[in-house]
Structure 1
Amino acid sequence: MTGELERTEVLIAGGGPVGMALAIDLAYRGIGCLVAEAGDGTVRHPKVSTIGPRSMELFRRWGLADAIRDAGWPPDHPLDIAWVTKIGGHELHRYRRGTAADRPVFQHTPEPDQICPAHWLNPVLAQAVGVHPAGPLRLRTSISGVTQTDDHVHAVLTDLETGTTKQVQARYLVACDGASSPIRQACGIDAPARFQPQIFRNVLFRAPELRARLGDNTALVHFLVRSATLRFPLRSLDGDALFNMVVGVEDETAPRADALSLIRDAIAFETPVEVLSDGDWHLTHRVADRYRDRRVFLAGDAAHTLSPSGGFGLNTGIADAADLGWKIAATLGCWAGPGLLDSYEAERRPIAEESLREANANLRRTMDRQVPQEIDLDGPEGEQARRAMAERLASSGAHREFDAPEIHFGLRYRSAVVVDDPGQPVDIAVPDAAWRPGGDPGRRAAHAWWDATTSTLDLFGRGFVLLQFGGDEGLPRFEEAFAERGVPLSVHRSGDDELAKLYERAYVLVRPDGHVAWRGDELPEDPAALADTVRGATTTNGESP
């Protein structure tokens, strides 16, 4: 290898939202990193726009939730989803979700979802990470020549502007380098396709008068129900003039309508339109066979690619970063056991698989929906077709694509560093209005207001947290067991009966990522064994090394 040598604790390949989220989490934990991003940081065609509630909770932890909410989305813009034959035409069904300013307060989270497409989100994250030379984010920089030894990873960084190269040595490398991930391929990790691949077009356009013309019929998403080509979402990206329309491609070899004519066909009235970009994207559902190759880890699209139906892809990747970040920090801090990093794959890969199935079910609901030719006709024939479609939409679970809190919050980690509670349910049913997730082991710990301004979630992040609703008997031994192993632990005691009822046990141990590690009505007789389990230091025979 040639060039100057630079050392860092963690090298992150890819400076998209997942790579930057990991860098932010590592910095939050005092861990140095270097982020290499081949692009220049410009988002030329934003697509994903909804940051899910669990991701917003993580951004709250990192001090970025307010910046994301203030990035530009108008608080008075409806968050509704409207199924229509045309924009401004016949409306078949509407899922009313209020606006960011007037929707009801959610009991299960202090941070509801937020509209913040990538052309707003990425600059917020880049500023938080810091662009070189002020920070670790290196734009227009590629990674190649990755090799591993027993205690570090070597790679070559190439400045794509000057062509100069530099060697970098890191303790760990995390590949956040996209669905085709050259690093994943170089590690020999397969990510076989699942379900049926699909081809779509994304058409980005500006329509400066469209919102005003729609008036009260404005929605966040106008879900077209028009034809085999136009039966996908048309989404507002800035609450004003910028829109993205997904177009189906049934036959890749057939002649295609131009983007402007497709937009004209999707809107019921004449309005000024400017096409900004039009490009194909190939949807191939994948989950990598492994998330780790010795000192190399996969996260985000490098580990999984999901249908965007449901908005789980980005949010799954950000949760990858939150899971992996504290485990790398614990390992570099010398208090993790040898099994902690292995638990990353054990916890996150099943979540990706479940999210992939849910996203594909949402996609199939749309793909399998037959659109009658008379759907947009005036007169009795068209009215009958629209009534039948409206009934089908209302009864087929169409809302689920835009409201699935049990996917964002209800999925449970099962791994060697989580102590199962024999009394916990196997699965979570579709929640009702009173649903409050998160007291049982493996799940994200429940939100409630600890005091007037502090969520329980605000107590979690730096180290382990013991929520104490019972007495002090055994507490000194418990704290001592963690202290002897160098495991950071804080204790928060509450006499709030409602909070105790929510968490269901007298003692609840929460991990640095905010997931419950253990709970019980009494502190364990052997707190050292518990400390070893949750830090990944228990061997397969249940003994500590």
Structure 2
Amino acid sequence: MKSIQTQVLIVGAGPVGLTAAMDLASRGIDVVVAETRRAGEPPNVKCNHVSARSMEVFRRLGIVREVRDGGLPAEFPNDCAYRTAVVGRELTRIPIPCRAERYTATVGPDTDWPTPEPPHRINQIYLEPILFAAAAAQSGVRIINRVEVQHFEQHADGVIARARDLDTEQPIAISADYLIGCDGGRSTVRRLIGARLSGTDVVQRVQSTYIHAPALKDLIHQKPAWMTMSLNPRRCGTTVAIDGRDKWLIHNHLAAEEVAFDSVDRDWALRTILGVDDRFQYEIISKEDWVGRRLVADRFRDRRAFICGDAAHLWIPYAGYGMNAGIADAVDLCWILAGVLQGWGSPALLDAYEAERQPITEQVSHFAMNHALAVMGQRRAVPPEVELDGPAGEAARSRLGQAAYDLNVQQYCCAGLNFGYYYDRSPIIAHDGEAPPPYSMGSFTASTVPGARVPHLWLSDGRSLLDALGPAYTLLRFGPAVDVAPLVEAAARSKVPLTLLDVDRTKACYGFGEPLLMVRPDSHIAWRGQAAPREPDWLFDRLRGAASRPGIA
């Protein structure tokens, strides 16, 4: 039997597992990633959007330029268009900057992001190879392909996974301190830790087809768009430009009574959504049918085993919520795991992962489902007049276009979803009693309430605050006269790595009310104060998961 040893075993080499591997390796942790697919085997055509928070992660990992350069051509509009059909009349358009203008655009609802890294539209078939190549090249990461983890046992000091080589049938034993399941919606790790999904099993069914259609772009007389929603009384659907040239992904949104994927003629639906007749030629590359759900696992951890991404939650994949939430899971878990493995974190630090991520994914699952239900209702109510010539048709299209814009701009320009979430149930955050701002999909209010994301700012030397955060905790000091010696000394006594960063308050767009902020490596605020706390040792015990009593520092 072949034997492998590592500090962390990650099951699954999708975007979430690969990001987790790179994050851990960047902190000096040895990682093995077990993946059933062959190296270079393409993923399904799934997620089309990388959120701003995920792009911030890729910036920290040093791969944001490679990710930003992938996907659609640089000048291809990233807009979301609403039409009666892809080649039909346009109802409205949500403008989103193309890749070439992503950092400089200032006009429209998808600009002025409070971050150095706004979102990026790229399909997973292009994103995943970039992440795979970066992870495979990183010191401390070993990816073993065609390996299936079938079972694992836990003991006091680690995990032993039983796996097999799918090509040779050779058994493999992988010993690790910890295991992370990033193995998707049918997760073996989720089953083995005894976690169960609960929620809404079916929100909608979608007949999805990935096609090669070189002639389509020449039939579209309007400005191109990354995503085009077809709204007509016969068949509504969504068409995604995958490469900006000749590959398209078409979602046929089935009605509630259409319970089987083959209950609607695929060719008829596709042609109706596109607005083309029988002379139009296309080739089906693959059928990507899917069911939209709202399911969250009842536990994200069993002792030394954890789950992230689709293994932990499944919901409607609007705006890439699923993949991006999975990356947020990984980022939250990995710095905590690294702290424990490096010795400064108490084993109880690990309790924070589930306490932080499970409630927020439950909340976002409702955002996604409720938005999907609203969109489904709008599709059912498309009036036949939208396809008429004359004043009646113009009026109907105007009303429908405005309604579609108002409903969907919050989905595609979702600053709130990115920056507004906070961890109000975390055992490792020193909450001070102030309620955070409301959390919503479209908008957010910057805040320094512990648990919230630290407001972004540009430093005097031109760097983003994100680029200056340390590997563990960073103490932001707005004013050099504030005495931080008690905090620095307490951090040294507890062996918690602490970076002190002096910030010029006049450079901040947000009015920071407290001269001291303690920021975690995932950019969430762990503590704030007007001065060093009365009990700095207690504060660092809390931050590293060793506090034996509650309280406010």
2:420 is the counterpart of 1:410: yes
2:41 is the counterpart of 1:42: yes
1:498–1:453 distance in 2 versus 1, CA, 3 Å: closer
1:293–1:428 distance in 2 versus 1, CA, 3 Å: closer
Match of 1:120 in 2: 126
2:241 pairs with one of 221, 231, 236:
236
Shifted more, 164-173 versus 465-474: the winner is: 465-474
1:279–1:72 distance in 2 versus 1, CA, 3 Å: closer
1:480–1:132 distance in 2 versus 1, CA, 3 Å: closer
1:144–1:6 distance in 2 versus 1, CA, 3 Å: same
Match of 1:509 in 2: 518
Aligned mates of 2:304, 2:487 — CA distance in 1: 32
Cα deviations by residue, 1:297-316 (Å, 9 ceiling, x for unpaired): 01000000110123211110
CA contact (8 A) 1:418 1:441 kept: yes
2:173 is the counterpart of 1:167: yes
TM-superposed deviation, 1:429 = 6.3
Cα deviations by residue, 1:369-407 (Å, 9 ceiling, x for unpaired): 212344324455544432332243244x22112111111
1:242–1:438 distance in 2 versus 1, CA, 3 Å: farther
CA contact (8 A) 1:205 1:274 kept: yes
2:98 is the counterpart of 1:99: yes
Aligned mates of 1:25, 1:438 — CA distance in 2: 26
Query: 1:66 corresponds to which letter in structure 2?
Result: R
TM-superposed deviation, 1:48 = 1.0
SS in 1 for 2:6: strand
1:423–1:542 distance in 2 versus 1, CA, 3 Å: closer
Cα deviations by residue, 1:87-114 (Å, 9 ceiling, x for unpaired): 1211112112232323226250110111
Aligned mates of 1:49, 1:95 — CA distance in 2: 16
Query: 1:89 corresponds to which letter in structure 2?
Result: G
SS in 2 for 1:166: strand
Query: 1:387 corresponds to which letter in structure 2?
Result: S
1:194 pairs with one of 200, 215, 220:
200
CA contact (8 A) 1:175 1:297 kept: yes
2:269 pairs with one of 262, 283, 292:
262
1:481 pairs with one of 487, 490, 495:
490
1:139 pairs with one of 123, 126, 145:
145
Aligned mates of 2:117, 2:9 — CA distance in 1: 30
Aligned mates of 1:543, 1:338 — CA distance in 2: 22
Aligned mates of 2:271, 2:526 — CA distance in 1: 54
2:386 is the counterpart of 1:375: yes
1:131–1:28 distance in 2 versus 1, CA, 3 Å: closer
Structure 1, unmatched stretches of 5+, are: none
2:15 pairs with one of 14, 17, 30:
17
Cα deviations by residue, 1:296-339 (Å, 9 ceiling, x for unpaired): 10100000011012321111000001000000000011111232
CA contact (8 A) 1:464 1:511 kept: yes
The alignment-based identity, stated in percent, is: 33
Shifted more, 195-204 versus 153-162: the winner is: 195-204
Query: 1:246 corresponds to which letter in structure 2?
Result: H
Match of 1:400 in 2: 410
Match of 2:312 in 1: 303
Cα deviations by residue, 1:134-156 (Å, 9 ceiling, x for unpaired): 95111111001211111111111
Shifted more, 477-486 versus 373-382: the winner is: 373-382
Match of 2:79 in 1: 80
Aligned mates of 1:225, 1:120 — CA distance in 2: 29
Aligned mates of 1:244, 1:517 — CA distance in 2: 42
Cα deviations by residue, 1:324-357 (Å, 9 ceiling, x for unpaired): 0000000011111232110001111111111111
1:459 pairs with one of 461, 468, 472:
468
TM-superposed deviation, 1:243 = 1.1
TM-superposed deviation, 1:211 = 2.9
Aligned mates of 1:461, 1:317 — CA distance in 2: 23
CA contact (8 A) 1:259 1:278 kept: no
1:276–1:44 distance in 2 versus 1, CA, 3 Å: farther
2:152 is the counterpart of 1:149: no
TM-superposed deviation, 1:231 = 2.3
Cα deviations by residue, 1:495-521 (Å, 9 ceiling, x for unpaired): 332428543310111112221111111
Cα deviations by residue, 1:204-250 (Å, 9 ceiling, x for unpaired): 0122233344254211110111246x323211112222111111234
Match of 1:52 in 2: 51
CA contact (8 A) 2:81 2:93 kept: yes
Query: 2:259 corresponds to which letter in structure 1?
Result: E
1:131–1:507 distance in 2 versus 1, CA, 3 Å: closer
Shifted more, 219-228 versus 521-530: the winner is: 219-228
CA contact (8 A) 2:477 2:517 kept: yes
Query: 2:70 corresponds to which letter in structure 1?
Result: A
CA contact (8 A) 2:80 2:94 kept: yes
What TM-score do the two structures reach when normalised by structure 2? 0.91
Match of 1:62 in 2: 61
SS in 2 for 1:217: coil
Aligned mates of 2:149, 2:446 — CA distance in 1: 41
Cα deviations by residue, 1:405-463 (Å, 9 ceiling, x for unpaired): 1111110012111112334534246776xx66353311222221113541001112512
2:355 is the counterpart of 1:355: no
CA RMSD of aligned residues (A): 2.5
Structure 2, unmatched stretches of 5+, are: none
1:134–1:462 distance in 2 versus 1, CA, 3 Å: closer
Cα deviations by residue, 1:474-532 (Å, 9 ceiling, x for unpaired): 42221111111111011011233242854331011111222111111111122111111
2:479 is the counterpart of 1:470: yes
Aligned mates of 1:132, 1:110 — CA distance in 2: 24
1:293–1:44 distance in 2 versus 1, CA, 3 Å: closer
1:511–1:133 distance in 2 versus 1, CA, 3 Å: closer
TM-superposed deviation, 1:271 = 5.0
Match of 1:247 in 2: 252
CA contact (8 A) 1:199 1:249 kept: yes
Q: How many residues align?
A: 538
SS in 1 for 2:100: coil
CA contact (8 A) 1:337 1:538 kept: no
Cα deviations by residue, 1:55-106 (Å, 9 ceiling, x for unpaired): 0001000001100011242221112111111112111121122323232262
